[in-house]
């Protein structure tokens, strides 16, 4: 894929993310998008009423007044029979309903146009009627269901939804003033008035444009972070798709909750910690924090209470990213989940107490949401595996599993190609120390080193380290055939890696550990055998590609240096240092590291590590004296 096309696709991906976010945004139908809380200062400019609007009662006030209105109704009953002394008997069930409902009187239709009103206390139940008359009496009045339904409905409808009026131009609140309960009610009434007042299509477009600008600005800040702090990720299409997909998942989940429930407490269920976990596992902690912050800022634009949301989620994000700097065991994820849950609970409790001044406002269901969030964080291990498969990424846990030398493939490697296996162990140790020195990914390069020569398993007898002084089949071949045979261990390694489903990043180490270098032994032999003739270098060069990362470059150096160290005639500090410098200089001159981000200081640090490690490995040992007889 050309660089221009890749750049276009990256740009389209970020634009698509912006458009999706704007499309899902849940607050376009409301032109009053201020955020406020009782007891908190008003953080905006002066607000005055643009039009007359009523002050709406709270739901609790309306419900209480409706119940009082219903209790003031006089329920209707119909007389079904005449009893002695003109008494009225009501069923025990209906009597209990009247008392429970707080009704004082009832109306009884005794004739076509006759109605009697009695206190509830003068009605008799079958039991009290028996005690009065000395005989069993059935109820002789029953509720008039249709009439009562109409009365109750009228009572409910008679309760006004409002209790006052704010006139156009009236001052409501100014910046810095504390939002009181009364001001809060006026502000919520204004927000409702805006919502009920059909805003024009032009206003909706302006609101959308404003949110689009804010969202694109936030996404641009993340892109700017990548360009400055992580240039290697800035131009990667795969990394771009990963970041945008992760952001899109959490924005979609959050916006759908806010759109269909308008309850921002449900956001406690959304496992925003996955943002930090996934990005930390596959990339690095700093990028994880940047991605986490940008996503939370976008979601906060739509939340009714942005400050508590941002504060709570930011604390949890820092805790998660700090506690999961390196996930090398599954238990680390459970540990992180518990810490995140404790952080959520602590921050929610503290914010509620500081806002309301009372523990009675703590909602038990929030703690249940937090518990569900902890469970979802633990489930992130399955999500990590899914992302590994979809994006071809690899986590530290997977790398550790691959370094297990007791696996079937490694066991076969040690049995069938013992010399090559020992070579890979030495290369792995050298490369790991060098990676630590220049702050590269030591676990990644260690794993890549263990598998870089796995292709020699296809024909181990063709390589001198496995021949143990026996016959060398390459001696019976021409230089060209021998070079091709040696070069084939790269393609054979890729075939084995594919068969055993090794991650793509490990395959890249296999493909690039010789870059496009010459099989120097057979190339020189061919040139010496045909002096004065032009030798076709392509027959003696590895197919590549060249290393593109620091880790791949380290492996290429370590492989060449370790192999060359085995042919030294003497092991002194001078001879080892000279050999290390010669091998690395020849690779640099051949342009093998031209596509890597290695600096001069990195190369010098790697030289020092290789030299010191090889000196330690090949140090001279004292001869043990024999026992005199």
User: What are the tens digits of pLDDT across the range 395-415?
Assistant: 888 888 898 888 899 999 999
What integer is the mean pLDDT of 207-219? 87
Q: Are residues 226 and 279 in the same domain?
A: yes
Q: With 70 as the cut, is the pLDDT of residue 201 above it?
A: no
Question: What are 497's two structure tokens?
Answer: 């890696």
If one compares 359 and 538, the residue with the highest pLDDT of the two is 538
Quick check: 190 and 32 in contact, CB under 8 A? Answer: yes
Element housing 146 (H / E): helix 145-157
How confident is the model at residue 325, as a pLDDT?
66
Q: What percent of the chain has pLDDT over 70?
A: 94
What integer is the mean pLDDT of 584-588? 94
**DSSP 8-state symbol, 462:** G
Looking at the domain assignment, is residue 547 inside a domain?
Answer: yes
- CA–CA gap between residue 243 and residue 253 (Å, rounded): 16
Looking at the domain assignment, is residue 190 inside a domain?
Answer: no
> Model pTM?
0.65
Within its chain, how far is the Cα of 466 from the centroid?
Answer: 48
What integer is the mean pLDDT of 288-304? 91
Packing angle between helix 418-437 and helix 600-617, nearest 10 degrees?
130
- Of the residues 388, 423, 456, which one is the last residue of a structural domain? 388
- CA–CA gap between residue 423 and residue 460 (Å, rounded): 13
What integer is the mean pLDDT of 503-516? 93
Burial (0-12, 13-18, 19+ Cβ within 10 Å), 590: middle
Tokens 């109605």 map to which residue? 115
If one compares 433 and 258, the residue with the highest pLDDT of the two is 433
Q: How confident is the model at residue 199 (pLDDT cuts 50, 70, 90)?
A: low
Question: In degrees rounded to 5, what are phi and psi of residue 118?
Answer: -130, 150
- Of the residues 357, 388, 419, which one is the last residue of a structural domain? 388
Q: With 60 as the cut, is the pLDDT of residue 622 above it?
A: no
How confident is the model at residue 306, as a pLDDT?
83
Looking at the domain assignment, is residue 195 inside a domain?
Answer: no
Q: Could you tell me which residues come within 8 angstroms of residue 123 by beta carbon, excluding any fewer than 6 positions away?
A: 88, 89, 90, 95, 98, 106, 141
If one compares 556 and 1, the residue with the highest pLDDT of the two is 556
Question: In degrees rounded to 5, what are phi and psi of residue 394?
Answer: -145, 135
Say which CATH number the domain at 479 has: 1.10.3210
Looking at the domain assignment, is residue 163 inside a domain?
Answer: no
Q: Are residues 547 and 436 in the same domain?
A: yes
pLDDT digits (tens, 9 = 90+) for 47-75: 888 888 899 888 888 999 998 999 889 99
**DSSP 8-state symbol, 460:** G
- CA–CA gap between residue 542 and residue 491 (Å, rounded): 10
Provide the residue count of the chain: 629
If one compares 214 and 2, the residue with the highest pLDDT of the two is 214
Question: In degrees rounded to 5, what are phi and psi of residue 121?
Answer: -65, -20
Q: Are residues 219 and 310 in the same domain?
A: yes
List the single range of 187-196, 209-218, 304-313 with lowest mean pLDDT: 187-196
Tokens 């590609």 map to which residue? 545
- CA–CA gap between residue 90 and residue 99 (Å, rounded): 12
DSSP code per residue over 116-128 = EEEEGGG-B-HHH
Q: How confident is the model at residue 360 (pLDDT cuts 50, 70, 90)?
A: confident
What integer is the mean pLDDT of 240-248? 94
How confident is the model at residue 330, as a pLDDT?
64
How confident is the model at residue 327, as a pLDDT?
60
How confident is the model at residue 200, as a pLDDT?
59
Closest listed residue to residue 451, CA positions, set 503, 488, 525: 503
What integer is the mean pLDDT of 432-456? 94
Total number of domains in the chain: 3
Q: With 70 as the cut, is the pLDDT of residue 620 above it?
A: no
- C-alpha to C-alpha distances, 279 to 118, 245, 263, 286, 584, nearest whole angstrom: 75, 12, 28, 9, 34
List the single range of 245-259, 315-329, 364-378 with lowest mean pLDDT: 315-329
How confident is the model at residue 619, as a pLDDT?
60
Q: With 60 as the cut, is the pLDDT of residue 29 above it?
A: no
Looking at the domain assignment, is residue 259 inside a domain?
Answer: yes
Looking at the domain assignment, is residue 404 inside a domain?
Answer: yes
How confident is the model at residue 217, as a pLDDT?
93
Q: With 60 as the cut, is the pLDDT of residue 198 above it?
A: no
Q: SS3 of 22, please?
A: helix
**DSSP 8-state symbol, 476:** G
Q: Could you tell me which residues come within 8 angstroms of residue 625 by beta carbon, excluding any fewer than 6 positions away?
A: none
Q: With 70 as the cut, is the pLDDT of residue 623 above it?
A: no
Looking at the domain assignment, is residue 458 inside a domain?
Answer: yes
Q: What are the helix (H) ranges across 394-478?
A: 396-402, 408-416, 418-437, 442-451
Q: SS3 of 64, please?
A: helix
Q: Are residues 234 and 328 in the same domain?
A: yes
Q: Are residues 463 and 539 in the same domain?
A: yes
Q: With 90 as the cut, is the pLDDT of residue 23 above it?
A: no
What integer is the mean pLDDT of 491-499? 94
How confident is the model at residue 476, as a pLDDT?
87
Question: In degrees rounded to 5, what are phi and psi of residue 47?
Answer: -115, 125
How confident is the model at residue 164, as a pLDDT?
87
Element housing 246 (H / E): helix 237-261
Q: Are residues 403 and 452 in the same domain?
A: yes
From the CB of residue 233, how many other CB atoms can be counted at a distance below 10 Å?
18
Q: Could you tell me which residues come within 8 angstroms of residue 264 by beta carbon, excluding any fewer than 6 positions away?
A: 258, 303, 304, 305, 309
Q: Are residues 347 and 412 in the same domain?
A: no
**DSSP 8-state symbol, 165:** E
If one compares 187 and 326, the residue with the highest pLDDT of the two is 187
Q: Are residues 402 and 374 in the same domain?
A: no
Q: Are residues 294 and 372 in the same domain?
A: yes
What integer is the mean pLDDT of 496-521? 92
List the single range of 259-263, 524-528, 539-543, 549-553 with lowest mean pLDDT: 259-263
The C-alpha angle with vertex 504 and arms to 502 and 509, in degrees rounded to 5, equals 90
- CA–CA gap between residue 618 and residue 426 (Å, rounded): 12
Q: Cis omega (within 30 of 0) on the bond before 129?
A: no
The CA-to-CA distance between both ends of the chain, in Å, stands at: 77
- Taking every pair of Cα atoms in the chain, the longest distance, rounded to a whole number of angstroms, is 142
Q: Which domain holds residue 338?
A: 3-26+202-388
Q: Are residues 290 and 404 in the same domain?
A: no
Q: How confident is the model at residue 568 (pLDDT cuts 50, 70, 90)?
A: confident
Q: With 90 as the cut, is the pLDDT of residue 624 above it?
A: no
Q: How confident is the model at residue 221 (pLDDT cuts 50, 70, 90)?
A: very high
- CA–CA gap between residue 422 and residue 37 (Å, rounded): 68
- CA–CA gap between residue 265 and residue 298 (Å, rounded): 17
Q: Are residues 215 and 99 in the same domain?
A: no
**DSSP 8-state symbol, 153:** H
Packing angle between helix 380-391 and helix 330-356, nearest 10 degrees?
120
Q: With 90 as the cut, is the pLDDT of residue 546 above it?
A: yes
From the CB of residue 559, how many other CB atoms can be counted at a distance below 10 Å?
23
- C-alpha to C-alpha distances, 483 to 245, 311, 540, 564, nearest whole angstrom: 45, 63, 6, 17
How confident is the model at residue 212, as a pLDDT?
85
What integer is the mean pLDDT of 520-538? 88
Looking at the domain assignment, is residue 280 inside a domain?
Answer: yes
How confident is the model at residue 572, as a pLDDT?
85
- CA–CA gap between residue 89 and residue 399 (Å, rounded): 84
Q: Are residues 129 and 230 in the same domain?
A: no
Summary mean pLDDT of the chain:
87
């Amino acid at each position: 894929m050309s660089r221009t096309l890749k750049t276009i696709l990256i740009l389209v991906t970020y634009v698509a993310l912006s458009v999706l976010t704007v499309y899902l945004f849940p607050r376009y139908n409301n032109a009053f998008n201020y955020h406020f809380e009782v007891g908190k200062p008003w953080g905006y400019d002066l607000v005055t009423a643009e039009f007359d609007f009523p002050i709406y009662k709270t739901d609790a006030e309306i419900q209480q007044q409706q119940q009082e209105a219903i209790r003031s109704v006089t329920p209707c009953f119909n007389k079904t029979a005449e009893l002695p002394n003109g008494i009225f008997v009501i069923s025990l069930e209906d009597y209990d309903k009247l008392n429970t409902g707080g009704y004082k009187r009832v109306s009884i239709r005794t004739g076509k146009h006759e109605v009697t009103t009695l206190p509830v206390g003068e009605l008799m139940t079958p039991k009290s009627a028996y005690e009065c008359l000395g005989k069993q009496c059935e109820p002789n009045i029953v509720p008039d269901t249709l009439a009562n339904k109409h009365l109750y409905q009228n009572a409910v409808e008679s309760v006004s939804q409002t209790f006052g009026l704010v006139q156009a131009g009236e001052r409501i609140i100014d910046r810095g003033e504390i939002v009181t309960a009364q001001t809060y009610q006026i502000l919520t009434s204004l927000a409702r008035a805006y919502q009920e007042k059909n805003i024009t299509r032009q206003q909706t477009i302006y609101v959308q444009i404003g949110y689009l600008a804010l969202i694109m600005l936030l996404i641009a800040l993340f892109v700017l972070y990548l360009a400055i702090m992580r240039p290697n990720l800035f131009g990667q299409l795969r990394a771009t798709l990963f970041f945008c997909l992760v952001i899109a998942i959490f924005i979609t989940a959050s916006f759908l909750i806010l759109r269909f429930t308008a309850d921002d407490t449900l956001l406690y269920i959304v496992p925003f910690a996955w943002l930090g976990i996934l990005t930390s596992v596959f990339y690095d902690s700093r990028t994880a924090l940047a991605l986490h912050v940008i996503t939370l800022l976008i979601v906060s634009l739509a939340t009714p209470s942005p400050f508590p949301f941002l504060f709570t989620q930011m604390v949890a994000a820092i805790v998660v990213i700090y506690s999961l700097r390196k996930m090398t065991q599954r238990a680390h994820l459970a540990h992180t989940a518990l810490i995140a849950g404790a952080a959520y609970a602590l921050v929610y409790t503290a914010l509620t107490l500081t806002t309301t001044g009372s523990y009675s406002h703590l909602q038990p269901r929030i703690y249940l949401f937090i518990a569900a969030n902890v469970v979802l964080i633990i489930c992130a291990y399955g999500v990590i595996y899914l992302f590994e498969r979809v994006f071809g990424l690899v986590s530290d846990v997977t790398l550790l599993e691959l370094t297990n030398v007791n696996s079937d493939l490694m066991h076969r490697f040690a049995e069938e190609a013992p010399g090559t296996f020992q070579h890979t162990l030495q290369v792995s140790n050298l490369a790991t120390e060098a990676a630590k020195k220049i702050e590269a990914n030591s676990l990644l390069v260690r794993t890549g080193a263990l598998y870089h020569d796995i292709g020699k398993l296809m024909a181990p007898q063709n390589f001198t380290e496995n021949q143990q002084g026996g016959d060398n089949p390459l001696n019976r071949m021409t230089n060209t055939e021998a070079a091709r045979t040696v070069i084939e261990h790269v393609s054979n390694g890729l075939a084995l890696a594919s068969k055993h489903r090794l991650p793509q990043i490990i395959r890249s180490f296999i493909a690039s550990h010789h870059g496009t270098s010459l099989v120097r032994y057979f190339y020189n032999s061919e040139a010496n055998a045909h002096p004065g003739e032009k030798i076709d270098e392509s027959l003696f060069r590895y197919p590549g590609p060249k290393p593109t990362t620091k880790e791949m470059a380290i492996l290429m150096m370590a492989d060449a240096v370790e192999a060359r160290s085995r042919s030294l005639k003497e092991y002194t500090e001078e001879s080892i240092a000279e050999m290390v410098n010669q091998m690395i200089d020849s690779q640099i001159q051949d342009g093998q590291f031209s596509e890597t981000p290695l600096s001069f200081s990195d190369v010098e640090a790697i030289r020092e590590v290789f030299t010191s490690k090889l000196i330690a490995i090949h140090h001279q040992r004292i001869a043990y004296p024999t026992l005199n007889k």
